[in-house]
Amino acid sequence: MLEQIDLDVSLSKREYEQRIASLQARLYDMEQVALEARVPVLVIFEGWAGTSKARTIGVLTRRLDPRALRVYPITPPRTYEKQYPWLYRFWLKIPAYGELAIFDRSWYREMLAERTGEGSAVRWRERCEDAVAFERELAEDGAVIVKFWLHISRKEQSRRFKRLLEDPLTAYQVTDEDRRQHRRYEDYAAAVEDLIARTGTPAAPWHVIPATDKYHARVTVLKTIIDTLEVRLGRKAVAIDDEGQAESLDDSAAAFRERPRGNGRGRPPAVEASLDGAPGHAPGLAPAEPARPEAAHILRRVDLSLRLDDKEYSRQLKRLQAQLHLLGLELYRQQRPAVLVFEGWDAAGKGGAIQRLTAELDPRAYIVHAIAAPAGEDKTRHYLYRFWRRLPPRGQLAIFDRSWYGRVLVERVEGFARPDAWRRAYPEINEFERQLVDFGTIVCKFWLHLSPDEQLRRFEARQHVPYKAWKLTNEDWRNREKWPQYEEAVDEMLLRTSTPAAPWTVVEAEDKRFGRVKVLRTFVQRLESELGKVNL
């Protein structure tokens, strides 16, 4: 079967560049539709060693909303995972309703390793049945499942290995397992054919992708996912996609296309400016002191006139994202964990800033936690429990879209926490962050600030775009009415919890472009000072 695949198909770089941005945008649309429809999506990448699965996944995820996305690199099972039935660790990774889970290798890795190694024929058949049952159950529960086999010839694999081995920086990528696979290419190919025959089902079909030409492969992968989602999510998807087509998708600025449904209205040109609004920390304040300190009004002193024009924005964004890409690798190399906290007014652009920040990161290297009201086991324990359990391991970046600061913001203002509880939270949070920093974690915290007028403009803009209206809730309007109380809470938070090890950065986000660039620049500078400079 595999020999029927035409491996010579290709696409010019020009054609690729023309098409890829539009496909990424359509995929973003479909991600949003799936989220709204609460349909979980699983995309599985298997294929020959040397087919750059990780880079394909990078192209795929670049423009997605990272909050609904999980990328799982699958290695052989760890010791403690062997304490459970083999599918246990995959059940634990199934996406929530509306989420997209991407598997860089999957349960099929374990199966193929056994099949081409010591495993018996009986065991192979059992595993295939287990996998089919697993996928069928998820599909019947509403999940969309797309499985890829990235295919190259033995000759092409040989060429790729040679190229990787020539460069000492990439030679490590060719593992012993890969060499074994190459030596026994024909055996593996037979196993893969058997696998595809046994586990390709209508609910979870395999797509064999000719991967000799990377451009063609990437475009095919994206198109396949989009087509599958459009068929499964029906009319709705088409409607949104049509709308999408009306847009000018190919933004030659090569930076992020400003989505016109959002708030990307033109801005008056402005020069770049910078203000480090981080307030001083106040270690001398007694933590149990009940009265509000006579804090200077930190927020009122923030300069909201700061702006960036389109061209400058694109230029700076591109450079910062490239730096972040390298710094992300360095973070992993040095095995340092990092924690980013995003707090800010509703509609201040937290999501957009996070998206720009993660755009060029290896999708396996970070995770975004969107924090709403606690539920389930999080609700029945100390409020810090749910953040402890979401901490990044060494080498990973965890981004919190809202965070433990909810304790001293929404819980304080809305009365969900008693005064003694939220007052106690300042030293508790400082202690928590100190323990992270002591462990070697890089902690960066942002408050995204805008004016009430600008917030109102953004709310109204959201309200009038049917596709974005769901993002705006009654709660947002209610919060708005409590602006002064929130302002007081934010001022006190900035004053009490900005520590040398974990300082706050106040971001002037009246102009989204300026805000995003400041977030990225701050984080880049912080990483450079912690990890050392990287050269572009």
Residues found near a second copy in the complex (CB under 8 A): 40, 78-80, 83-88, 91-92, 94-98, 126, 130, 133, 137-138, 140-141, 143, 337, 374-385, 388-389, 391, 393-394, 424, 428, 431, 435-436, 438-439, 441
CB of 483 to a second copy, least distance (A): 30
Nearer to a second copy, 97 or 477 (CB): 97
Closer to a second copy by Cβ: residue 345 or 387: 387
Task: Tell me 83's DSSP state.
Answer: G
| Residue nearer to a second copy on the CB measure, 285 or 391 | 391
Those residues whose C-beta lies under 8 Å from the C-beta of residue 515, and which sit 6 or more positions away, are: 348, 349, 353, 448, 507, 508, 509
Minimum gap (Å) between residue 80 Cβ and a second copy: 6
Tell me the residue type at 516: R
For the chain, what percentages of helix, strand and coil (3-state, to nearest 5) are there? 50, 10, 35
Taking the complex as a whole, the smallest distance from the CB of residue 406 to a second copy amounts, in Å, to 16
Give min distance, CB of 165 to a second copy, in A. 30
Nearer to a second copy, 266 or 393 (CB): 393
| Nearer CB in complex with a second copy: 146/317 | 146
**Partner residues linked to 497 by β-bridges:** none
Minimum distance from CB of 256 to a second copy (Å)? 29
CB of 284 to a second copy, least distance (A): 19
Min separation Cβ 143 and a second copy, Å: 8
Pick the closer one to a second copy by CB: 339 or 354.
Answer: 339
How far apart CA 224 and CA 212 sit, in angstroms, is: 17
DSSP string across 455-524: HHHHHHHHHTSTTTGGG--HHHHHHHHTHHHHHHHHHHHHHHH--SSS-EEEEE-SSHHHHHHHHHHHHH
Min separation Cβ 202 and a second copy, Å: 15
What φ, ψ does residue 262 adopt, rounded to 5°? -85, -130
Q: Closer to a second copy at the Cβ: 279 or 337?
A: 337
Q: Are 408 and 425 in contact, with CB atoms under 8 Å apart?
A: yes
Instruction: Output 317 or 443, the one with its CB closest to a second copy.
Output: 443
Region of 368 on the Ramachandran plot (φ > 0 left; ψ -120 to 50 alpha; else beta): beta
CB-nearer residue toward a second copy: 215 or 387? 387
Question: Least distance (Å) from a second copy to the CB of residue 186?
Answer: 31
Q: Provide, rounded to whole angstroms, the least separation between the CB of residue 337 and a second copy.
A: 8
In angstroms, what is the minimal distance from the CB of 285 to a second copy? 17
Q: In sequence order, what DSSP letters do the residues of 215-262 get, joined into one string?
A: HHHHHHHHHHHHHHHHHHH-HHHHHHHHHHHHS----TT-S----TTT
Q: Specify the residue, 85 or 284, whose C-beta has the smaller distance to a second copy.
A: 85
**What letter does residue 364 receive in the DSSP assignment?**
T
Using CA atoms, how far residue 62 sits from 102, 452, 520, in Å, is: 13, 32, 16
Q: Closest Cα partner for 62 from 330, 257, 209?
A: 257
Strand arrangement of the beta sheet that strand 100-104 belongs to: 69-73, 100-104, 41-47, 144-151, 206-210
**How far is the C-alpha of 104 from the C-alpha of 101, rounded, in Å?**
10
Of 223 and 424, nearer to a second copy (C-beta) is 424
| Residue 233, CA distances (Å) to 23, 83, 364, 499 in order | 17, 38, 27, 48
Kindly provide the residue ranges of all beta strands, DSSP E only, lying in 105-190, ordered along the sequence: 144-151
